[in-house]
């Protein structure tokens, strides 16, 4: 397995249209392994294919570093980690929303409060192309929605008010010019 450089804010690959995965061939198997290693090396809890330069509808999640923050009685509902989600589709979202501080491996050094539905339901396929339906809430729902956004060409900063975005403008421009201090390998577009 290999650690892949993470693409930074400003890279058009983060905004491109993604394509459905038809089968998990050896190349894609390797990519999935590399993405899990890259996520862990960066101490992230999720990583989507566009963040390492691919257009596949695929992301990986591993919230195990955050499990301590989840009440024990709720941990039974959490699937085994890490998770591989292929061709995900969110089919339901709750009316109840929640505010939570998010960061992104493609936007190092910025964390902001983002409002999202508290729980969602989704269909996806795993690395064996087995179909699953999953209802999630809490931290896992948060991470899944963030990664799902990446497959739609969206970043968490798109959810912020224009006021907050204005405050972050110079920092974001800096990142898109490669001025990012990350503890993991990154690749800027410029
Ligand atoms: Zn992200």
- Give pLDDT, residue 75: 82
Question: What pLDDT is attached to residue 129?
Answer: 97
pLDDT at 190 over 80: no
- How many whole angstroms from 9 Cα to the centroid of ligand 1? 10
What's the gap in Å between 172 CA and the centre of ligand 1? 14
Residues 38-46 have a mean pLDDT of 97
> What's this model's pTM, rounded to 2 decimal places?
0.96
Domain boundaries 6-187, corresponding CATH code: 3.90.45.10
Q: Please give the average per-residue pLDDT across 166-178, as a whole number.
A: 95
Is-contact 15 53, C-beta < 8 A? Answer: no
Please give the distance, rounded to the nearest whole angstrom, from the Cα atom of residue 75 to the centre of ligand 1: 24
Q: pLDDT tens-digit profile of 4-15?
A: 999 999 999 999
- The region that residue 109 occupies, defined by phi over 0 for left and psi between -120 and 50 for alpha, beta otherwise, is left
CA of 45 to the centre of ligand 1 (A): 9
* Confidence bin at 189 (pLDDT 50/70/90): confident
Label residue 45 exposed, middle or buried (CB < 10 Å: 0-12, 13-18, 19+). Answer: buried
Average pLDDT taken over every residue of the chain: 95
Q: What pLDDT, in 10s, does the model give residues 57-102?
A: 999 999 998 888 888 887 877 899 999 999 999 999 999 999 999 9
In terms of Cα–Cα distance, which of 50, 43, 63 is closest to 18? 50
pLDDT at 66: 87
Ligand 1 centroid – CA 24 distance (Å)? 23
Active-site annotation holds for 147: yes
Given a cut of 90, whether residue 44 has pLDDT beyond it is yes
Q: What is the DSSP-derived secondary structure letter of residue 150?
A: H
Q: Per the residue annotation, which of 56, 102, 112, 147 is the catalytic one?
A: 147
CA distance 14 to 146: 13
Peptide bond into 175 cis (omega under 30): no
């Amino acid at each position: 397995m290999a650690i892949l450089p993470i693409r930074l804010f400003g890279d058009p690959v983060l905004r491109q249209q993604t394509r459905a995965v038809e089968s998990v061939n050896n190349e894609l198997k390797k990519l999935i392994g590399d993405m899990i290693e890259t996520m862990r090396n960066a101490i992230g809890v999720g990583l989507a294919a566009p963040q390492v330069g691919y257009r596949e509808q695929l992301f990986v999640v591993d919230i195990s570093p955050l499990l301590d923050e989840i009440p024990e009685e709720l941990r039974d509902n959490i699937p085994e980690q890490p998770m591989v989600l292929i061709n995900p589709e969110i089919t339901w979202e709750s009316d109840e929303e929640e505010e939570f501080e998010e960061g992104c491996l493609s936007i190092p050094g910025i964390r902001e409060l983002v409002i999202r539905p508290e729980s969602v339901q989704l269909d996806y396929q795993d690395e064996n192309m087995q179909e699953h339906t999953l209802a999630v809430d809490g931290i896992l729902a948060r991470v899944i929605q963030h990664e799902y956004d990446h497959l739609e060409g969206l970043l968490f900063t798109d959810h912020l008010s224009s006021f907050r975005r204005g405050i972050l403008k110079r920092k974001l421009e800096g990142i898109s010019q490669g001025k990012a201090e990350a503890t993991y390998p990154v690749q800027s577009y410029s």
